[in-house]
A and B are shown apart, each in its own frame.
Chain A
Amino acid sequence: MEEKFKEYNNSEILVTTQWVEDHIKDFADQKGDYRLVESNEDPLLYHSKHIPNAVEIDWTSDLNDPVTRDYINEKQFEELCSKKGISTDTTVVFYGDKNNWWSAYALWVFQLFGHEKVKLMDGGRIKWEKENRKLVKEIPELPKAIYKSKIRNDKTVRVFRDDVLAAIKLNIGLVDVRSPEEFRGERLHIPGYPNEGALRGGHIPGAHSIPWASSIQEDGSFKPLKDLKKIYENENNLSKKQPVITYCRIGERSSHTWFVLKYLLGFENVKNYDGSWTEYGNLVGAPIEK
């Protein structure tokens, strides 16, 4: 285990690229104790090459309901896991592009179904590539698994717009992880084109601007605990005991910060607002700060 992992609140939640390399065979064995899942922003990336024996979970086509803006239900989750060789007892190791935005998001969605045996590969795909580790094109053929899903419970890790509107008036930490330009509501688009799907720019009143990349080192891996404490607790006065809500544009970057606060820093009550700015910035009458 890497030294810095020992300091995190949950020292088991991260694995190194070397650990993944050492377990490549386990990700495709019949027992199915471990499975490796790649989740990306770029839909072509997994299909171009991926870590041997990794399967893909795509946030759009696999995790989202195709009609309602919501996540899949228990039955769909069971089918997805079964197809990917994941059983109720499998430890799922996630990794992906964009410094693990989408893999943190997939890991977060797994928490809606109470699948707690999860890990994230520190540094994501970019670190693996920079270390010149093996990538292959072959998609593994894994044995179908049996998955019995728990009842989906959104209450532990997810909030909705009414919770956010209520949070503005309470002592709840709101963390906006988008870029400072997005936080300030500056126009980021070509005139005549929608501003990232929201009619209004700015941020939720009282939100702290802590861009997601604040938690990342140059090689793509997470910063050590003392640096994370400095950013989130000292500079932004967030406390582990305080309820905290993270948000971004659609909930992916904020899943990344949710991961940092929950697992690395040990915040006791941190939830992700996946409606994020594409919902809040379109809400009629919602208060906005710039």
Chain B
Amino acid sequence: MTYTNLPIKLQALLDEFAEIKEKSERYQMLIYLADDFTEVPPSVATRPFPEQNKVPACESQAYVWVQSDENGKALLDFAVENPQGISAKAMAFILKDTLTGEPLESLLRVDENIVFDLYGKELSMGRSAGLTSMIALMKAQAKSILSN
């Protein structure tokens, strides 16, 4: 799918995924990215994590924190409570890695459909719901900061 005005690093990653033809290769790439996932630091949040940061419909109990630095650039953090939630960890890593440091407004342009570009179009409704909700909650938090 073609998107307009996506943050450059995210677009570059999507372009890379678009070159992948084999499902197994796509999965290995996502597993590789999930390996680099790092959890929200204690300076941002500690357990029990607030309910307002919990991603609805995510089977892996993912949490999202969006903050703005003094220049209006995005700071993102995530937690994934399910140790076997590799898909959620990959998604969290991708969002944190490609969007940290981008203007907060640019987060609003991230289309939830990128989930299918990354994980494949065959992703079921149940499996995609949690991943798209991670993006939706990230955008909702960014919007809330921008409107205050």
Contact = CB atoms under 8 A, between A and B. Distances in A.
Given A42-B87, A60-B124, A129-B83, A193 B133 contact: yes
B86 A41 contact: no
A42 B137 contact: no
Given A41-B59, A42-B85, A47 B137 contact: no
A249 B84 contact: no
Given A60-B127, A193-B136, A44 B86 contact: yes
B59 A98 contact: yes
Nearest to B136: A190
A61 interface: yes
Contacts, number: 66
Contacts of A129: 83-84
Contact of B57 (A45, A61, A189): A189
Interface in A36-85: 40-45, 47-48, 60-61
A136 interface: no
B28 A250 contact: no
B40 interface: no
A47 B90 CA distance: 14
Contact of A44 (B34, B59, B122): B34
A126 B124 CA distance: 23
Interface string A174-198: 0000000000000011100100110
A45 B86 contact: yes
Interface in B1-42: 24, 27-28, 30-31, 34
A97 interface: yes
B93 interface: no
B94 to A, nearest CB: 13
A125 interface: yes
Given A44-B34, A47-B24, A60-B122, 18 more contacts: A40-B84, A42-B86, A42-B87, A42-B88, A43-B127, A44-B27, A47-B28, A48-B34, A126-B83, A129-B84, A189-B57, A190-B56, A190-B136, A190-B137, A190-B140, A196-B57, A196-B129, A250-B126
Closest 6 A/B residue pairs (Cβ): A44-B86, A47-B27, A60-B124, A97-B84, A48-B31, A190-B136
Interface of B: 24, 27-28, 30-31, 34, 56-57, 59-60, 83-88, 90, 119, 122-127, 129, 132-133, 136-137, 140
5 contacts: A42-B60, A43-B87, A48-B31, A48-B34, A97-B84
